[in-house]
Amino acid sequence: MKKNLILLFAVLLAPSLFAQQLPVISQFQYNRLLYNPGYAGSNEQLSASTLFRKQWIGNLPKTPATGLFALDAPIGTTRLAAGGYAIHDVTGVTSNTELSGALSYRLKVGAESYLSMGMNVAASFYKSNVTQLKVWDANDEVFINNDIQAVIPKLGVGAYYYHTNYYAGLSSPDLFIIDQQKLFSPTINGEKVLYRNLIAMGGANINLTNRFILSPSVLIKYFPNAPLYLAVNTSLKLSEKLQAGVGYRTPTSFAMFGSMNISEKIKLGYAFDFNPSNFSLGTAGSHEFMVSYGFQQ
């Protein structure tokens, strides 16, 4: 009974979650293109990464799962760079697949620093199969012929400043949205209102010794009718080969993560995060796996 109620609650909330918030990712510092199109090309090489995340491992059925693939690169010797990502997010009987392409223009503003302005064009393919749920009242109007499918185009912008030892960015990945069915527009005083996300990020590399580097990073997401989202990660690098750290995410989630550069081109990453309040629901946390590759010759 408890499992079914929890799953039903997640399904009913899914439309607002998909529209209002990007999927939760613990290793956000390695997946900045997802949040800011200005990040494209900042690695000065063709870069690719893939990630898989499974949430709430334990006794609950059909818990959320996320898959991500991202790619970006400078365009020749110009100041332009391009990138894109594909992400598939599933919660219960609801799913969202988003395809996005980004273009950025980079300016050198210092000896080792750049300012990049980017724009992304995306489309979200949302699907909800509510009629697949097992219900107690088969005649309940909420669950009769209530399958939903929608394609929602988006246009976003972002500014990204980066230096050898630090970075900062500000973006709105859904500045313009075409929601013809008004699925994700909350009602205020009888009128539909479509809110936008505002995302800020930042991070640094602080040399402690010749071998150890401290790398704090932060991600803030502001959405007008939702609590402020704050994620903070802090890690310690050893000679650019190994990295281990801890993180905190509002309201009460904690993470442990690590990565290894197994070659000059390949990085492997893993994160485990948990919310102490979820233990009573029979869940043991979430697992996240990442692989990134740099194509520099």
Most confident of 128-132, 278-282, 285-289: 285-289
| Residue 192 one-letter amino acid | K
Cross-strand pairs, 203: 167, 217
b or e along 121-158 (b: 16 or more beta carbons within 10 Å of the residue's beta carbon)?
Answer: bbebebebebeeeeeeeeeeeebeeeeeebebebebbb
| Cα–Cα distance for residue pair 120/171, rounded to 1 Å | 10
| Domain interval for residue 197 | 2-294
Neighbours of 108 (CB within 10 A): 10
Please check the confidence at residue 39 and state whether its pLDDT lies above 80. Answer: yes
Average pLDDT on 148-158 reads 91
pLDDT in the model for residue 134? 57
- The total number of structural domains that make up the chain: 1
Between these two residues, 233 and 178, which has the higher pLDDT value?
Answer: 233
pLDDT in the model for residue 17? 45
pLDDT in the model for residue 131? 60
pLDDT in the model for residue 7? 42
For position 248, which CATH number holds? Answer: 2.40.160.40
pLDDT tens-digit map of 101-134: 999 999 999 888 999 999 999 999 988 876 655 5
pTM of the model: 0.84
b or e along 20-30 (b: 16 or more beta carbons within 10 Å of the residue's beta carbon)?
Answer: bebbbbbbbbb
